Structure 1
Amino acid sequence: MHRFYQANITNKHTSFEIRDDGIVHQISRVLRMKVDEKIALFNGGGVDFLCEIRSVAKDCVGVDVVNRVKSEAEREIKIHLYQGVPNVWSKFEEVVRKCTELGAISFHPVIMERSETRLKNGDLPPKLERLSKIMIEACEQCGGSVLPMIGNVEDLKSASDAAPGVKIMAYEGDKETSLEELMSEMRNAGEVSLFVGPEGGITKGEAEYFVKSGGGTFNLGKRILRTETAPVAVIGRICF
């Protein structure tokens, strides 16, 4: 079933009009959908609104809401990603797309010692509107109904002090602890904050501060993964 994001649909609606030009075009011109065909709408809150098309016009698609169901695609573990700001912002966008598909519920760009960026603590992430579009497209594709949150830019100290749940950091300097050894703790807690470094990795001082703030480090084995690959690999392992 085709799925579309509509921020304004609520539980009060028994019918709804889609007026987003892009979605109207996709339904009427690209998919060539007809009256009585079914689609799903979601507003980012975890519920799918199952609908039947009752009218298709040039600038509007009218639907009747026939059922509301809680999404079954959301993860049992809440995963927050704290990503070291990469030197090219498109890498952060790639991480957001892939990790939204996997089930992350929030993204936090973190300035670390080896981040090459002009961003400062407290800044809004660049191209925020584009990031929102990326997350919406990923949710429409993967079946997720909870739209993730994008946090402001933070430094590592602020981020690690405030991060919820079990705090873990992918750190190549940890030669002893594997991700597998932390899995039971994460599953019991039900909430995980994952920290991944930028290009160049995480410094020893950063890892030491993270541990002092209540976090734990782990290694990813003998291979060194790119900054945009590591979070996908770790979140995939946690979820599956």
Structure 2
Amino acid sequence: MQRYFIDPNAIEPGRITVRGDDVHHIKNVLRMTVGDHILCCDGQGKDYYTELVSITDKEILCRILSTFPSKGEPRVRVTVASSLPKGDKLEWVLQKATELGADSFLPFMSSRSVVRLDGKKSAKKRVRWQRIVKEAAEQSHRGYVPQVGNVLTWKGLLEKFPSYDQVLFAYEREGSSLVEVLQKTRSQRLLVVVGPEGGFTESEVEEAVAQGAVPVQLGPRILRAETAPLALLSCILFSFGEMGGEPL
């Protein structure tokens, strides 16, 4: 069933009013009519099963038939910090990591990042990135739309480390076994950091460790910059029993 994230202010007792781009999608793309049903989510963990009551070019009125908690949110909150890769690779990471269950995203620029964004370009990109995340969250039946943060400098990212219970730093040259690290941790708020195509410099690794990050290896194969964050996120969610089975 089609799912839409709705501004909580548009939710009233017994009814929901859909406005904005979703009106066009419901009316003109899906060609829904009065009597059809959609799922609405307030973005705060609550879902609403609704029936379309009236449809205009500007808004759609829905009657709430039932309300229930969203089931798509993991118990562990994982923020993905990804150094800006070339092309549209970051868009792929944002989409797929949202589907998997990422809590939020922190794009950043490190020494070997090829892509450089100034404030104006960063703001424009962020609007597009947030739209990609919203659509992925709707498709995967998330109960929350992950937020894409402003593009950070390396120093700015380091300053974020203390906000998390644990920081896992993907480093291909050396590091702890990911399995062993995940078996020991039950932190509920994690940050995973993945570098650019050229990897991190030695000074960046030293600075990350000095700030409390734990370097981890992702196996003997060298993963691409867009593959590593998805692999790391999947392993973490699996270890917490969020991908089926029991926690490690």
Q: Aligning the two structures, in what range does the TM-score lie when normalised by the shorter sequence?
A: 0.7 to 0.9
Name the structure 1 match of 2:237: 239
Name the structure 2 match of 1:6: 6
Name the structure 1 match of 2:226: 228
Alignment of 1:54-69 (within 5 A): 54-69=53-68
Deviations 1:54-80 (CA, angstroms, capped at 9, x unpaired): 223454322012233221110111001
Name the structure 1 match of 2:202: 204
**What letter matches 1:39 in structure 2?**
I
CA contact (8 A) 1:81 1:106 kept: yes
**What letter matches 1:3 in structure 2?**
R
Q: Runs of 4+ in structure 1 displaced over 4 angstroms? A: 8-11, 120-126
**What letter matches 2:160 in structure 1?**
A
Separation in 1, partners of 2:202, 2:74: 32
**What letter matches 1:204 in structure 2?**
E
| RMSD value, Cα | 2.3
**What letter matches 1:226 in structure 2?**
R
C-alpha displacement at 1:137, in angstroms?
0.6
Deviations 1:75-114 (CA, angstroms, capped at 9, x unpaired): 11100111112233x2112211111111111111111111
Name the structure 2 match of 1:195: 193
Alignment of 1:107-146 (within 5 A): 107-119=105-117, 124-146=122-144
Separation in 1, partners of 2:109, 2:229: 16
Name the structure 1 match of 2:160: 162
Separation in 2, partners of 1:5, 1:57: 19
Mark the runs of 5 or more structure 1 residues left unpaired by the alignment: none
**Residues 202/121 of structure 1: CA separation in 2 closer, same or farther (3 Å cut):** farther
**What letter matches 2:2 in structure 1?**
H
Separation in 2, partners of 1:153, 1:29: 35
**Residues 180/122 of structure 1: CA separation in 2 closer, same or farther (3 Å cut):** farther
Separation in 2, partners of 1:42, 1:140: 9
Deviations 1:167-220 (CA, angstroms, capped at 9, x unpaired): 00110011x52211111344x111110000011111222112111111100111
Separation in 1, partners of 2:118, 2:19: 38
C-alpha displacement at 1:23, in angstroms?
2.7
C-alpha displacement at 1:157, in angstroms?
3.1
Separation in 2, partners of 1:238, 1:134: 23
Separation in 2, partners of 1:9, 1:49: 14
Separation in 1, partners of 2:148, 2:170: 21
TM-score by length of 2: 0.85
Range moving further from structure 2, 212-221 or 108-117:
108-117
Separation in 2, partners of 1:96, 1:123: 18
Alignment of 1:71-86 (within 5 A): 71-86=70-85
CA contact (8 A) 1:71 1:144 kept: yes
**What letter matches 1:208 in structure 2?**
E
C-alpha displacement at 1:234, in angstroms?
1.1
Range moving further from structure 2, 127-136 or 24-33:
24-33
Percent identical residues: 33
Name the structure 2 match of 1:42: 41
C-alpha displacement at 1:132, in angstroms?
1.6
C-alpha displacement at 1:165, in angstroms?
1.9
TM-score by length of 1: 0.88
CA contact (8 A) 2:126 2:150 kept: no
Range moving further from structure 2, 176-185 or 223-232:
176-185
Pick from 147, 150, 153: which aligns with 2:148? Answer: 150
C-alpha displacement at 1:159, in angstroms?
1.4
Separation in 2, partners of 1:75, 1:226: 26
C-alpha displacement at 1:227, in angstroms?
0.6
**What letter matches 2:3 in structure 1?**
R
**What letter matches 1:18 in structure 2?**
V
